[in-house]
Chain A
């Protein structure tokens, strides 16, 4: 038994969160958000892994015990949503640069009419 995969997931989460808190650039913050999100991939895949067993794909051998397909399907969902949300956030950052001339969170004050 090893706890290394869980520690990796925890480390990725914390290091991404620290990056967002100290970020001076929204593009950098969005990158940190994807780091946080990758911690969920590591966590879900390591929860679903089973020692000595292969992937839940039986195209070349008969069905039997394998890694958990439900968690792998969840990770697939996670990745797709992550990519789409990153694109949306990056386009928000682009609009911010156009409208306000800065993507540093510290420079931005609440909008006034």
Chain B
């Protein structure tokens, strides 16, 4: 299909769809006036029933827990796909640098970048772990915190360079982390079946509102998701960085 034909087809389709889109927009609730009985019910009863203060976490890891399991599998499958597509001539030697395959002129790293990285990377790591562990109390959770932890690993790469980054990022460890995260989620969901409950039912003691261990299975699932996200996103970063690197003779 030539470009002109494609554009004509696009505008013709847009003309047909426009009235439908406008009709759909008119059916939406007025902005700021939304009344969803489910959301209101969660807001009204969530803290009393689940002993958590972050209602988004209550929805994600308890009320809609099975959907989040599916979401975690989407992440897992996508990361597996990335690894299968990119894994090829990948070495384990840590001396080589990415970007040499592109013959870029390389500037030395400024001491300011290294110095700042040494402050920022550990702080980001601690912040990410905090966000994962307090997911049921304050904004955050396994997905957000996991991405922050993965970003702290990348900050090590910016500050210290490729060799140091590969010292802390092992692909086997990441695979184990990601697989364990998904497996813990699955197994925690299975436990209630043995006591006559339903899958992913919150059967653990709920604890005290405001405590880090409150919410029964919610903090456990948060940590499981955090593990899977750390493993997944670090793996993606590793695979893409390896693409820019020339494999050496002595590499595996």
Residues of A at the B interface (CB closer than 8 Å) are 1-6, 10, 14, 17-18, 21-22, 46-52, 55-59, 63-73, 76-77, 79-81, 83-85, 87-88, 90-92, 94-95, 106
Contact = CB atoms under 8 A, between A and B. Distances in A.
A59 B137 contact: yes
Contacts of A14: 14
B236 A58 contact: no
Contacts of A88: 78, 81-82, 85
Given A70-B39, A77-B60, 20 more contacts: A1-B31, A2-B31, A14-B14, A22-B6, A56-B55, A57-B55, A58-B47, A66-B43, A69-B58, A70-B38, A76-B141, A76-B144, A81-B75, A84-B75, A85-B78, A87-B78, A88-B85, A91-B81, A94-B85, A94-B240
A51 B34 CA distance: 9
B116 interface: no
Contact of A10 (B21, B40, B79): B21
Size category of the B interface is: 35 or more
B163 interface: no
A21 B10 CA distance: 7
A80 B25 CA distance: 26
A84 B71 CA distance: 10
B60 A76 contact: yes
A22 to B, nearest CB: 7
B94 interface: no
A73 B38 CA distance: 13
A91 B25 contact: no
A88 to B, nearest CB: 5
Given A22-B7, A49-B34, A69-B55, A84 B43 contact: no
Interface of B: 3, 6-7, 10, 14, 21, 25, 28-34, 36, 38-40, 42-44, 46-48, 53-56, 58-60, 64, 67-68, 71, 74-75, 78-79, 81-82, 85-86, 137-139, 141, 143-144, 147, 210, 229, 232-233, 236, 239-240, 243
Contacts of A91: 81-82, 85-86, 239-240
B44 A63 contact: yes
Nearest to A68: B39
A63 B75 contact: no
A65 B34 CA distance: 12
A65 B36 CA distance: 11
A84 B38 CA distance: 29
Nearest to A5: B31
A73 B25 contact: no
A67 B33 CA distance: 10
